[in-house]
Amino acid sequence: GGGESHCPRDASYKDGTLQVDLMGMDGVIGVQETEEGWLALVEPRVTMQTLVRATLPYGLMPPVVPEFRHITVGGAIAGIAGESGSFRHGFFHDAIAGMEVVLGDGNIVTATADNEFSDLFFALPGSYGTLGIITAVTIRLVAAKPFVAMSYEHFDDVLEFALHLANGEKREDLDFLEGIGFSSSSLVACEGRMVDTESAQSGIFGDVRRLN
Ligand SMILES: Cc1cc2nc3c(=O)[nH]c(=O)nc-3n(C[C@H](O)[C@H](O)[C@H](O)COP(=O)(O)OP(=O)(O)OC[C@H]3O[C@@H](n4cnc5c(N)ncnc54)[C@H](O)[C@@H]3O)c2cc1C
């Protein structure tokens, strides 16, 4: 993390380990349409802000964008990250198509879900830098619209609130969903929908703000 880590975990597990400085590896290598759909190829220190700024001009975004803008791609994979798109798309790493990894013996491998390094591919998320150093990542992208319209629903019953969130996946109109509990009797479901224009939707759904 180079002193910029957002990881809330006690870092003592790194005591006595070899530290490798990745600070220069913060470039977006490309955004490209392939046989597998639109992909972004990035270095691991690319932040969520930089990533989204590179993809939005194409009308695209990663399916899950952790909210804090300085979280990095490598940190979001190795430290696990989710966000309000996760109810539909899973974790940030569920959109990863492949990773270039430097192993402890110095070998450089490319791990995908179905090649000889698939065990590494599935073990890297949540491994906190213990299995290798991710040096490049291919991310699947989805369509984005320029605005997000938000609406908020209040609940005073935890079970009703939990069922509402659990059923979100079935609601095709929703792009973003998360809940905040202020107390066991004051809970709010925050629902977001991507929309094309500010004026057309704001009266229907409530506040609208720019995606970037
Ligand atoms: C203010 C704040 C807001 C947050 N918001 C969100 C949020 O909206 N959604 C969410 O899900 N989480 C959130 N988090 C948690 C955060 O996403 C995770 O802690 C994430 O792991 C931090 O990533 P980072 O880029 O800071 O990585 P770091 O803290 O630098 O790294 C995290 C772990 O990954 C390892 N690692 C980093 N890069 C690599 C690499 N290239 N190869 C191998 N291992 C690597 C590190 O060694 C470390 O163990 C937030 C945390 C804070 C403090």
Whose Cα sits closest to atom 8 in ligand 1? 67
Least confident interval from 10-19, 26-35, 36-45, 175-184: 10-19
Burial 13-40 (b: 16+ CB within 10 A, else e): eeeeeeeeebeebbebeebeeeeeebbb
134 lines ligand 1 (CB under 6 A): yes
Binding site membership of 22 for ligand 1 (Cβ less than 6 Å): yes
Q: How far apart are the first and last CA of the chain?
A: 24
Q: Cα–Cα distance between 129 and 77 in angstroms, integer?
A: 10
Q: Find all residues with CB under 8 Å of 33, minimum gap 6, and list them.
A: 39
Question: Whole-angstrom Cα distance, residue 81 to residue 99?
Answer: 17
Which ipTM was obtained for this model? 0.92
181 within 8 A of 165, measured Cβ to Cβ: no
Q: Is 85 in the pocket of ligand 1 (CB under 6 A)?
A: no
Confidence at residue 18, expressed as pLDDT on a 0 to 100 scale: 83
**Cβ–Cβ < 8 Å for 206, 149:** yes
| Residue ID of nearest Cα to ligand 1 atom 10 | 81
Residue 46: name the closest of 66, 19, 32 by CA: 66
Q: Tokens for 23, please give them.
A: 């600070």
Atom of ligand 1 nearest to the CA of 78: 34
- For residue 18, what is the DSSP state? P
Question: 177 near 189, Cβ under 8 Å?
Answer: yes
Residue 203 has pLDDT above 50, yes or no: no
| Encoded tokens for 202 | 């704001």
Report how far Cα 79 is from the mean position of its chain's Cα atoms. 11
pLDDT in tens, 28-46: 999 999 999 999 999 999 9
Q: What pLDDT digit, counting tens, does each position of 54-99 carry?
A: 999 999 999 999 988 999 999 999 999 999 999 999 999 999 999 9
Mean of the per-residue pLDDT values for the chain? 90
Neighbouring C-beta atoms of residue 194, cutoff 10 Å: 18
Locate 70 and state its tokens.
Answer: 């300085």
The band of 206, judged by pLDDT with boundaries at 50, 70 and 90, is low
